[in-house]
A and B are shown apart, each in its own frame.
Chain A
Amino acid sequence: MSDAVSALDGRAAEPRPGLRLAECGLRGQITLRAGDLASSALVGAVEAITGVAVPEALSAGFAGDDRGAVWMAPDELLLFVPHAEVAGAVEMLEGALAGTHHMALDVSHARAVLRLEGADAAETLAKGAPLDFSEAGFPVGRARRTHLGGLAVGIWRRGPEEWELVCFRSFAHHLFAWLETSGVEGAEVGRFGV
């Protein structure tokens, strides 16, 4: 069997001191679509797999680095599990949701996850997306799908200075380069009380 490699193989950069950008490497990713995200079968399976409850609209929950769930749409979640567990997790979802209208798909290799950390992370993102990235407008735990640097992305705030983004795999290089350029030394804005 061939060795799986993530889009940017864990590439990391520090565009300016204190602003850290990295591709998260291999992470198990499952797109789960279902008519009812509140059904007890789905709620139980998601919690068993990810360790978190089904997130509310426009939010995300995590139980460790690569285990969690992000709300993507009224009928869609993105689930994260360690890469080695993804096949078993899909199998478990299929079992739990058998006979109900649903889709559980391993998209681990179709997407890339990037992480941006630092006090300047919010303003670095704000240059490219039509969202309010302040603490009030985008609190920890919030998740949004939007466009950034011309790409469709999902963004969620894992901590006050800790963000993750997901994009299609083939756009990973562009997103990485865009964030690196937006955060480069000399490009400070000081928008969010930095």
Chain B
Amino acid sequence: MLLITCPNCGADCAETELAPGGEAHLERFGPGSTDEDFAGYLFTRKNPKGVHFERWRHAFGCGKWFHAARCTVTLEVFGTYPAQVTEPPAEIVERIRARRPNWEG
């Protein structure tokens, strides 16, 4: 069971209050892009063993989307941050580096 703090409402949520939204910070390729880029956007995911950036929605709570950084092995949550960014904030990256010195980013 993951316990994640929703940065929109501040509630500490059990995983069951949330809906997963998959890998975060994907670059979108739409009409006009190459087949390779479009297929990559649709299907290719990092699926790392370790640090992962994800999208989540507080579905049974405030209803808002947000981002979370967590470890797929230990389920440690490094932090959550707003949905309206295209990369993790520096403080989240710092926290991950402190906990995972060998993380390649």
Interface residues in chain A, defined as those with a beta carbon under 8 Å from any beta carbon in chain B? 57-58, 72-74, 76, 130-131, 144-147, 152
Contact = CB atoms under 8 A, between A and B. Distances in A.
20 contacts: A57-B10, A58-B9, A58-B10, A73-B9, A73-B61, A73-B62, A73-B63, A73-B64, A74-B9, A74-B62, A74-B64, A76-B62, A130-B14, A130-B16, A130-B17, A145-B60, A146-B17, A146-B60, A146-B61, A147-B16
Contacts of B8: 73-74
Interface SS of chain B: loop
B26 interface: no
A73 B63 CA distance: 7
Contacts, number: 35
Q: Which 4 pairs from chain A and chain B are nearest by CB?
A: A130-B14, A73-B62, A147-B60, A145-B61
Contact of B11 (A58, A147, A152): A58
Interface SS of chain A: strand
Nearest to B10: A57
Contacts of A74: 8-9, 62, 64
A53 B51 CA distance: 43
Chain B: number of interface residues, binned into ranges:
10 to 19
Given A58-B9, A130-B16, A146-B17, 12 more contacts: A57-B9, A72-B62, A73-B9, A73-B62, A73-B64, A76-B63, A130-B13, A130-B17, A145-B61, A146-B60, A147-B17, A147-B60
Given A57-B10, A74-B9, A144 B16 contact: no
Nearest to B17: A146
Contacts of A145: 60-62
Nearest to B16: A130
Contacts of B16: 130, 147
Contacts of B62: 72-74, 76, 145
Interface string B51-62: 000000000111
A147 B14 CA distance: 10
